Structure formats: C-alpha cells, structure tokens
C-alpha cells in the first residue's frame, strides 16, 4: 500500500536481533517446571502413604530422609513449586476467561506469582517454626 508506514506500537515477533527477555516468558516456563516438580512431589506423597501403611520399620529410612537436609530442602522447594504453580495457575484460569492479557497486566501478575512463590514458603516455614 502506497505511503503505508509501520505503526510504532505494532507487536513484533521475537527475532534474533530484536529480542529481550520478558517476565511473562519466565512465568510460562516456570509453570511447566513447577508442574513437573509437583508430579515428583505427588509420587513422593504417595510413596510416603505406602511406607506408612507398611509399618514403622518400612517408614524408618523414608522418615530419616525427609528429616535430613536433602528432604527438608526438597520439601521447602516443593512448597515453593506449589505456591508458584497455584498463583500462576489462577493466572492461567483468569486468562482463560479472556481477562488480564494486556501486556502490562500480564507482567504485573507474573511478578506477583513469582514473589508469592518466594514469600509463601518463607511464611509457612516461619509459621511452623515459630507458630507454636
């Protein structure tokens, strides 16, 4: 079309030379990573139930693992995964209704999900440790 100029605010697809990191990309990939992490977490929870049912001797090594450093860090990370996946899952469900997809809104809520994933496990840990 003669005289047509490219509007400045037209969305541009990612391209080798025109590209920057967006928090919404991190939020998308984190949803997947935490979902896969929680898959492992659910298998762990089911394993826990089965060794409990199998009796105290069977539970012994499992309980020692959970109480040890790897188990404790693992549980902490699982709570972080859960908090992120929960907050971002709600974000996805809101997107499904057609809301919150303006880039600035999507970025704000992505940051919120990330901050929630940092704050929630600290909060829960503090509540368990100091809450009596």
Q: 118 is in the binding site of which of ligand HEM, other proteins, none (Cβ under 5 to 8 A by kind)?
A: none
Number of residues in contact with ligand HEM under rule CB under 6 A:
19
24 binds ligand HEM (CB under 6 A): no
Binding other proteins by CB under 8 A: which of 27, 80, 82, 84? 82
48 binds other proteins (CB under 8 A): yes
* Residue-wise DSSP of 99-131: -S-SHHHHHHHHHHHHHHHHHHHHHHHHHHHH-
71 binds other proteins (CB under 8 A): yes
Give the nearest distance from C-beta 122 to other proteins in angstroms: 13
Phi and psi torsions of 33, nearest 5° = -60, -45
Q: What angle do CA 12, 14, 18 make, to 5 degrees?
A: 80
Residue that is written with structure tokens 């860090």 in the block: 73
């Amino acid at each position: 079309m003669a005289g047509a100029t490219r509007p400045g605010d037209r969305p541009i697809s990612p391209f080798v030379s025109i590209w920057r990191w967006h928090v919404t990309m991190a939020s998308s990939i984190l949803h997947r990573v935490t979902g896969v992490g929680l898959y492992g977490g659910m298998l762990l929870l089911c394993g826990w139930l089965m060794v409990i049912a199998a009796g105290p001797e069977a539970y012994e090594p499992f309980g020692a693992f959970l109480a040890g450093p790897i188990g404790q860090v693992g549980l902490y990370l699982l709570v972080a995964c859960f908090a992120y996946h929960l907050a971002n899952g709600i974000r996805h469900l809101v997107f499904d209704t057609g809301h919150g997809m303006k880039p600035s809104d999507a970025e704000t809520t992505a940051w919120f999900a990330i901050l929630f994933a940092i704050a929630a496990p600290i909060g829960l840990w503090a509540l368990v440790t100091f809450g009596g």
